Structure 1
Amino acid sequence: MRCQGKVWLFDLDNTLHHATPHIFPHINRSMRDYIERHLGVDRHEATRIRQDYWVRYGATLLGLMRHHGTDADHFLRETHRFPDLERMVVFERPVIHALRRLPGRKLIFSNAPRHYAEAILDITGLGACFDAVYSVENVRYQPKPMPAGFRTLLRAERLDPHRCIMVEDSLPNLIAAKKLGMATVWVSTSYRQSPSVDVKIRSVLQLPERCGRL
């Protein structure tokens, strides 16, 4: 399988930039506080609910929608507010050069809300590297790894999944992509292996050199 003529689908957080140091802790606290306020539970129970829904559904939001009738847009606005997002972003500028070396169209496919994804792309300068951005709103709140979200994107872009390469830090999301027929790249420092992963890299910076292995 050659990279030429393929379409790249990139996750955003912890794939193209490092969200773990500052952004994810802030989002997790915001979600916990939201659940406390709107479900009337204590901090411990709010943390348990957040983590349980994330594990079960791939996104806390989906569990809240299914079990509590939470308004998706309100939840996303309230939990993705940042006092100084630019200061919180950890990004390696050479990633932009690495992406420009990859042949084919490139799309963002993120479980994050659009306002946050666009802010990250603007702060990092990554926006110019991508032809389109698909946030959780664009896939009808069916986040990865749900097949429905993938199919919504594929229909909207009129893509054959066998022409797509999914680049992700989340193994469950890659397993879902592989089942649909996509090639997969796992961005991870884990020693774990998976038959659903075609190429494993520690950083997107390695992607141009490893592209041939796809």
Structure 2
Amino acid sequence: MSDASSGPARRPAVRAWLFDLDNTLHDASSAVFGVLSPAMTDYIAQELALEPAEADALRRRYWQRYGATLLGLIRHHGIEPAHFLHQTHLLPGLEERLRCHAHDVAALRRLPGRKYILTNAPRAYALRVLRRLGFLDVFDGVFSIEDMRVFGHWRPKPDPRMLQRICVRLRLAPRQCALVEDTLEHQKGARRIGMRTVWMQRWAHRAGLCCSARPPYVDRRVRRLAALCR
């Protein structure tokens, strides 16, 4: 008699999908980043009394070092987070630049399991984007950068401590959650705690990312949201 328990263990079904927003659900490289990055540079130049070139270099350095420009500004300059997030994400005319397709909305509606946004952007910006793209009622909730504090410290993606806290809030084990994300560094953090990882490559070429190889910490790579339903 064969022993059914001797076969390979099946991975549990994904019960919660955590979706990044920019360059995962929409083409932020074309619609947002060309405006957002200068807005951050202008803010840094004004608040820290720097020349534009110095401010831009500082913005890039903090983003590369901490995963979010805001963290460097808090740690080294005492910038008020709420003021920074509000001023840099005013983005007049944002809605007119956003584009979406009906089949993306339909694909998310078909996808089984709970669905959440997990973004390093502020909540007000995320809600504007979701509302304009027609995604707002598709998601069960939004985890924005305002929610990414652990014991009083800011822990945005890819910090595994924050990701673990999100799983606790969802009352799920990490292996029951999947992160759908365009940024590979963020997927490393998810894999460290045992999350499933999906690399969205739909707009990778515009972000300057190589699309040829799938890193070992990525479970799947997709170019369309409909691929998640299979």
Q: TM-score range by the shorter chain?
A: over 0.9
Aligned length: 209
The 8 Å contact of residues 17 and 92 in structure 1, kept in 2 or not, is answered as no
The 8 Å contact of residues 4 and 103 in structure 1, kept in 2 or not, is answered as no
How far residue 2 of structure 1 moved from its aligned partner, in angstroms, is: 6.1
Q: Would you say 1:38 and 2:59 are equivalent positions?
A: no
Counting aligned pairs with the same residue, the percent is 44
The 8 Å contact of residues 65 and 72 in structure 1, kept in 2 or not, is answered as yes
Amino acid at match of 1:203: R
The 8 Å contact of residues 200 and 221 in structure 2, kept in 1 or not, is answered as yes
Q: Would you say 1:103 and 2:124 are equivalent positions?
A: no
Which string of whole-angstrom CA distances, capped at 9 and with x for unpartnered residues, describes residues 68-89 of structure 1?
1111110000000021121121
Which string of whole-angstrom CA distances, capped at 9 and with x for unpartnered residues, describes residues 48-94 of structure 1?
01111111111101111111111111000000002112112122221
Amino acid at match of 2:69: T
Which string of whole-angstrom CA distances, capped at 9 and with x for unpartnered residues, describes residues 129-178 of structure 1?
11111000011232101122212322222221010011000000011001
The 8 Å contact of residues 3 and 104 in structure 1, kept in 2 or not, is answered as no
Normalised TM-score (structure 2): 0.86
Instruction: For 2:25 and 2:102, locate their aligned partners in 1 and report how far apart those are by CA, in whole Å.
Output: 10
Amino acid at match of 1:135: S
Instruction: For 1:32 and 1:194, locate their aligned partners in 2 and report how far apart those are by CA, in whole Å.
Output: 32
Instruction: For 1:89 and 1:137, locate their aligned partners in 2 and report how far apart those are by CA, in whole Å.
Output: 23
Amino acid at match of 2:60: Q
SS at match of 2:172: coil
Q: Which runs of 5+ in 2 are unaligned?
A: 1-9, 205-210
Amino acid at match of 2:228: L
How far residue 5 of structure 1 moved from its aligned partner, in angstroms, is: 5.2
Task: Pick one of 145, 158, 164 that aligns with 2:177.
Answer: 164
Amino acid at match of 2:101: E
| Rg larger for | 2
Q: Which runs of 5+ in 1 are unaligned?
A: 210-214
Q: Would you say 1:70 and 2:91 are equivalent positions?
A: no
Normalised TM-score (structure 1): 0.93
Moved more, 83-92 or 22-31: 83-92
Instruction: For 2:167 and 2:13, locate their aligned partners in 1 and report how far apart those are by CA, in whole Å.
Output: 19
Structure 1 stretches of 4+ moved >4 Å: 1-5
Q: Would you say 1:59 and 2:59 are equivalent positions?
A: no
